[in-house]
């Protein structure tokens, strides 16, 4: 048979559990309990805001649009750089296995500061200038991004397998690391592959 002090202990424990259960909604506002994985998002969409209509067959001196977006789910504010790079079929691409960025220099960048769960999205306009075709080779001398003329000077040979002059405009996400006082590659990259056409290749 239980003694009086045992009953008191049971009542005390039961009361304590009840108080904690009642206070749990309030505690959730103060305590930061472990949640899901912290991550960032990077995406591109076509001019009608869907992934399936991004430009592919392009011409010189015509303007194309896409939407570029960044989402912050790092459970804190975050400072990003989106590096814009341009490659031909022989240039390297970021290595997903070693999680290292492309070694090409960026031709343009966007700087974005986001609070937790915030999203940044921007319509990007781009065009190609000083494009030439000679001896089964296409040369793009410059790209205009949001009104900024950028020198690229990229050659590409005719690709018989894919039937085109294939280039790629791609975007890498870099996240500011406060302890290191530097931006670090965030292992997020999206690319826009396209075929530069002229009247002969249409």
Average pLDDT score over residue span 10-39 = 48
Please report the pLDDT score of residue 29 as a whole number: 35
Give the residue from 37, 39, 183 showing the smallest Cα distance to 112. 183
Give the other-Cβ count within 10 Å of 143's Cβ: 22
Q: Where are the beta strands (DSSP E) in the chain?
A: 39-45, 57-58, 64-73, 78-87, 108-114, 119-134, 137-145, 148-157, 166-177, 182-196
Please report the pLDDT score of residue 37 as a whole number: 85
- Token code pair at residue 8: 């008191």
pTM attached to this predicted model: 0.79
27-45 residue pLDDT tens: 333 333 345 689 999 999 9
175, exposed or middle or buried, with CB in 10 Å at 0-12, 13-18, 19+? Answer: middle
112-162 residue pLDDT tens: 999 999 999 999 999 999 999 999 999 999 999 999 999 999 999 999 988
Q: Where are the domains of the chain?
A: 1-33, 39-196
- 39-196 fold: Immunoglobulin-like (2.60.40)
Residues 6+ apart with CB under 8 A from 188: 40, 41, 42, 172, 173
């Amino acid at each position: 048979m239980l003694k009086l002090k045992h009953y008191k202990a049971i009542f005390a424990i039961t009361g304590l559990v009840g108080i904690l259960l009642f206070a749990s909604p309030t505690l959730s506002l103060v305590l930061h309990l472990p949640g899901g994985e912290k991550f960032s998002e990077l995406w591109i969409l076509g001019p009608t805001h869907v992934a399936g209509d991004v430009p592919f067959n392009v011409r010189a001196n015509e303007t194309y649009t896409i939407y570029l977006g960044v989402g912050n789910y790092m459970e804190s504010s975050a400072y990003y750089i989106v590096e814009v790079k341009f490659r031909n079929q022989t240039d390297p691409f970021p290595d997903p296995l070693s999680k290292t960025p492309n070694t090409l220099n960026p031709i343009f960048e966007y700087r974005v500061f986001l609070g937790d769960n915030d999203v940044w999205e921007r319509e990007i306009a781009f065009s190609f200038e000083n494009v030439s075709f000679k001896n089964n080779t296409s040369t793009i001398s410059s790209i205009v991004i949001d009104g900024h003329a950028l020198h690229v000077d990229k050659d590409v040979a005719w690709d018989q397998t894919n039937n085109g002059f294939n280039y790629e405009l791609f975007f890498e996400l870099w996240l500011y690391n406060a302890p290191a006082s530097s931006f670090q590659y965030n292992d997020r990259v999206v690319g826009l592959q396209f075929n530069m056409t002229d009247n002969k290749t249409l």
